[in-house]
Structure 1
Amino acid sequence: MRHLLPTTLLLALFGGTALAGQAPGPASAPDVPVGPRDRFYTSDQFSNTISVIDPAANKLLGVIRLGDTTPANLSPLYRGQLLVHGMGFSPDRKTLVAVSIGSNSISFIDTATNTVRHTTYVGRSPHEAFFTPDGREVWVSVRGEDYVAILDAGTGRESGRITVPNGPGMTIFSPDGRLAYVCSSFSPETVAIDVQRRQIVGRIKQESPFCPDIAATPDGKQVWFTLKDVGRVQVFEAIPPFKPLKTIETGPITNHVNIARAKAGQFAYVTVGGLNEVKVFRTDDFSAVATIPTGALPHGLWPSGDGARIYVGLENADAVAVIDTAANAVIATIPIGQGPQGVAYVPEAVPNGAGAPNLQPLGAAGQSSTLTLDGRDGKAATQVTLFDQGVLQTLQAAVTGLAPKKPYVLALSSDPKGAGPLEPLAAFMTNPAGAAVVNAIGPIRQVTLNPNESTRRSLVIVEGKPGETGATVQTQALR
């Protein structure tokens, strides 16, 4: 969820306790210091879990299992969730929503008991879901189609749809609750919607068609969104006529953006996967403040209730990096489930007690292996994680350093330099930044890390398409 109820209403509803003046709330709301009742949640795409963290202790408490790992989830009678991805939470902090893109579902989870209240199924490949400011509706960006699905927050039933440009990636709300902003992952256009009338009232040009994430500043003045394919962030005015303000070059595989307020001002934090960094910018003059190394493929991020910390999901490291915003440095790393995507920091999510009922241990979901592919110059270019799924692994490669908009093949080769016959794993096209996120599945760890040289295979990237491959451009490092 990217917006909270106005401060006066929160005070009336919750006996004087208001949520913080941090995104997604208004700047006028008081801060909530980090405490043991707070929770940080991550959507773990490959283990199909929600990791639950106590931010006061920077400790994983356990996971909520929404589905099984592969191959157990391949049955035609499988009923669990698949590819748990997006996340949001209600203004009263009592409900978490988790979006599963593979099973087209929205899971409504009770934050006090860590149990699923009900599950709603929507259209193809939903990406993110957020509550409206009054807490009555959940707006779901159905990225595989061309609409935002509106769900009743109490029953989970779909009550309406708003047609938007094809491939809506994410919806957030203005601090006053009057406008919703929807960026697109397939069309080069973001739209502003009048929430009450459910009508598009503004259109903002995206410099590329792939926006995965969008954030509104708590002061109500700006909207920031990321462009993953070209490695940029765009900023526009949050009110009509939605004037473009700035485009910032950030780097390959630019993922999410979020806002934190501190004594020194208001700052935008941006995850850049290809560089494994979080970049920090002022929102007043857009100047770069810091670059923070985090770990493999940073994805979602969210500020604590007082803006003192930023919690970052590391997609290819199965971990959360905790950033101190005063020092702009990582102060802790917490192991979690596999492939964290969307995240949420919920101040005072637990009403009382330890807040850990019904959580399960991480188990096999905490097991993974990493490999590196070097470019022709011998320098590391691509980081690969093999997420254990029992006898199989899900492979995810954060590919960088290739020519833009060209076809390539990730393959296994009996020759470490890629000579001779290849066994293709995945064909892919690089984005305009010469990068890509590539997935495959199989017993890859067993063959690439096999101590027997005669049966060992090496990961390589070659030019071209399956059956029409060219030169080898990246090879598995032996270190």
Structure 2
Amino acid sequence: MASGRWVFGGAVLVLLLALSSHAGAYEVWVTNQSENKVQILDGQSLKIIAEIPVASKPHNVTFSPDFKLAYIASVGSNDFTVIDAVTKKVVKAVPGGKTCHHVAVSPDGKLLLASNPGEHTVMLYDAKSLERLATIEVGKNPAMAVFSKDGQTAYVSNGGDATLSVIDVKNRKVVGSIPNIGKGAMGLVMSPDGGKVLVTGGGENKYTLVEIATGKILIDVVSGKEAHGAVLTPDAKFALVPNRQSGDVSIVDMATGKIVDTIANVGDKTDIIDLSPDGKRAFVTLRGEAVTGDPAMTTGKEPGVSVIDVPGRKVVTKISLGGDPHGIAVRP
């Protein structure tokens, strides 16, 4: 090895080792609301490798199961954009509902479910034709949705009335509503066996763990201030929950529902989170000057992405992006 490779100070060398300690190439997709674009980072170098213009105020990003397509929900233009994730080309902008906020994808990739908080509905689409199949009224201000493992049921977090709507996908109707999951209900993740779902309720600074079969709240836990996003670790033993106002990330044991650790000083206005494929690195968006919602609640001072060493429980670097980053998702 050339001697020039060793000129780094000890702290810098440790940082480089931490950033390169996970295998495999992957991408990190970030929606930037104030700049109306998706910014794509290389997961290893953390450099921007592509920027894709999309519709007004892109909010959240999700992928098809094979990661060949990306779906970008745009709250400003009431639609979602379909992107060929391989070529990085826009395929189509699909009309949605008012303030289209999030697009959930069924496990087989055949159906899409878009949440529209501005009109209290979700819209079901055929993923191939992009034809709208149904508009379903749910609770107040639906934020996000997740499908069951078999794709037969969908669950929708309703931030306005603190409920979780249960949808029969085949018959395209609501068949149940689970109350008291927290005002401002937002992020949700389901256990691999489909038995439990964790829902963040940022308006009450908490999250709940719900038993699907009974609709019973198994545990109701005070988290950091304004719990927002959520993601499961690859082994599904833990959920990582960013707390927007306290700028930290709670680590939740999915078996007990209890917080087992907190990663502090993640950044100003931590928002949505995803993990590298091996689960060793977490990426958390940090808000900028807000273009949606209450500016007093969402405007941050360091717009970008905070990178966390998950085993080490610490931030290793921050990536400055400008604008107002919000949604984030990792593409292997």
TM-score interval (norm. to shorter): 0.7 to 0.9
Give SS of 2:203's match. coil
CA distance in 2, matches of 1:57, 1:176: 37
* Contact kept? 1:34, 1:55, Cα under 8 Å: no
Q: From the superposition, tell whether residues 34 and 145 of structure 1 become closer, same or farther in structure 2 (CA, over 3 Å).
A: farther
Show CA shifts across 1:60-91 (max 9, x none). Answer: 2232122xxxxxxxxxxxxxx21111221111
* 1:177 corresponds to 2:162: no
* Contact kept? 1:183, 1:190, Cα under 8 Å: yes
Q: 5 Å matches for 1:205-244?
A: 205-238=179-212, 240-244=213-217
Question: Residue 104 of structure 1 aligns with which residue?
Answer: 78
5+ long unaligned stretches in structure 2: 1-21, 288-299
Query: Match for 1:167: what amino acid?
Result: N
Structure 1 counterpart of 2:233, from 257, 260, 264: 260
Query: Match for 1:47: what amino acid?
Result: E
* Contact kept? 1:236, 1:246, Cα under 8 Å: yes
Question: Residue 48 of structure 1 aligns with which residue?
Answer: 36
Structure 2 counterpart of 1:294, from 260, 263, 266: 266
Q: TM-score, normalised by structure 2?
A: 0.84
CA distance in 2, matches of 1:338, 1:221: 39
Question: Residue 303 of structure 2 aligns with which residue?
Answer: 318
* Contact kept? 2:206, 2:226, Cα under 8 Å: no
Question: Residue 271 of structure 1 aligns with which residue?
Answer: 242
Q: From the superposition, tell whether residues 285 and 207 of structure 1 become closer, same or farther in structure 2 (CA, over 3 Å).
A: closer
Give SS of 1:126's match. coil
Question: Residue 110 of structure 2 aligns with which residue?
Answer: 136
CA distance in 2, matches of 1:179, 1:149: 14
Show CA shifts across 1:422-474 (max 9, x none). Answer: xxxxxxxxxxxxxxxxxxxxxxxxxxxxxxxxxxxxxxxxxxxxxxxxxxxxx
Q: From the superposition, tell whether residues 34 and 314 of structure 1 become closer, same or farther in structure 2 (CA, over 3 Å).
A: farther
CA distance in 2, matches of 1:175, 1:328: 30
Q: 5 Å matches for 1:319-358?
A: 319-347=304-332
Question: Residue 27 of structure 1 aligns with which residue?
Answer: none
* Contact kept? 1:127, 1:141, Cα under 8 Å: yes
* 1:64 corresponds to 2:52: yes
Question: Residue 24 of structure 2 aligns with which residue?
Answer: 35
Q: From the superposition, tell whether residues 223 and 34 of structure 1 become closer, same or farther in structure 2 (CA, over 3 Å).
A: farther
* Contact kept? 1:118, 1:156, Cα under 8 Å: no
Larger gyration radius, structure 1 or structure 2? 1
Q: From the superposition, tell whether residues 334 and 64 of structure 1 become closer, same or farther in structure 2 (CA, over 3 Å).
A: same
Question: Residue 134 of structure 2 aligns with which residue?
Answer: 160
Alpha-carbon distance, 1:158 to partner: 1.5
* 1:285 corresponds to 2:285: no
CA distance in 1, matches of 2:279, 2:56: 32
Q: From the superposition, tell whether residues 234 and 251 of structure 1 become closer, same or farther in structure 2 (CA, over 3 Å).
A: same
Alpha-carbon distance, 1:343 to partner: 1.4
CA distance in 1, matches of 2:312, 2:150: 31
CA distance in 1, matches of 2:280, 2:148: 22
CA distance in 2, matches of 1:185, 1:179: 20
CA distance in 2, matches of 1:215, 1:34: 25
Show CA shifts across 1:112-153 (max 9, x none). Answer: 111111001222111100211221221101111122111222
CA distance in 2, matches of 1:112, 1:268: 29
Q: TM-score, normalised by structure 1?
A: 0.59
CA distance in 2, matches of 1:63, 1:91: 22
Q: Percent identity?
A: 28
* Contact kept? 1:58, 1:332, Cα under 8 Å: no
Give SS of 1:117's match. strand
Alpha-carbon distance, 1:337 to partner: 4.4
Query: Match for 1:105: what amino acid?
Result: D
Q: CA RMSD in A?
A: 1.8
Question: Residue 78 of structure 1 aligns with which residue?
Answer: none
* Contact kept? 1:60, 1:335, Cα under 8 Å: no
5+ long unaligned stretches in structure 1: 1-32, 67-80, 348-479
Question: Residue 168 of structure 2 aligns with which residue?
Answer: 194
Q: From the superposition, tell whether residues 251 and 326 of structure 1 become closer, same or farther in structure 2 (CA, over 3 Å).
A: closer
CA distance in 2, matches of 1:207, 1:118: 35
Give SS of 1:254's match. coil
Structure 1 stretches of 4+ moved >3 Å? none
Query: Match for 1:319: what amino acid?
Result: G
* Contact kept? 2:181, 2:207, Cα under 8 Å: no
Give SS of 1:229's match. helix
Show CA shifts across 1:368-415 (max 9, x none). Answer: xxxxxxxxxxxxxxxxxxxxxxxxxxxxxxxxxxxxxxxxxxxxxxxx
Query: Match for 1:221: what amino acid?
Result: G
CA distance in 1, matches of 2:115, 2:72: 12
CA distance in 2, matches of 1:307, 1:178: 28
Q: Which moved more, 1:297-306 or 1:323-332?
A: 323-332
Query: Match for 1:266: what amino acid?
Result: K
CA distance in 1, matches of 2:23, 2:154: 29
CA distance in 1, matches of 2:239, 2:47: 26
Question: Residue 223 of structure 2 aligns with which residue?
Answer: 250
Count of residue pairs brought into register by the alignment: 297
CA distance in 1, matches of 2:140, 2:319: 37
Q: From the superposition, tell whether residues 159 and 176 of structure 1 become closer, same or farther in structure 2 (CA, over 3 Å).
A: closer
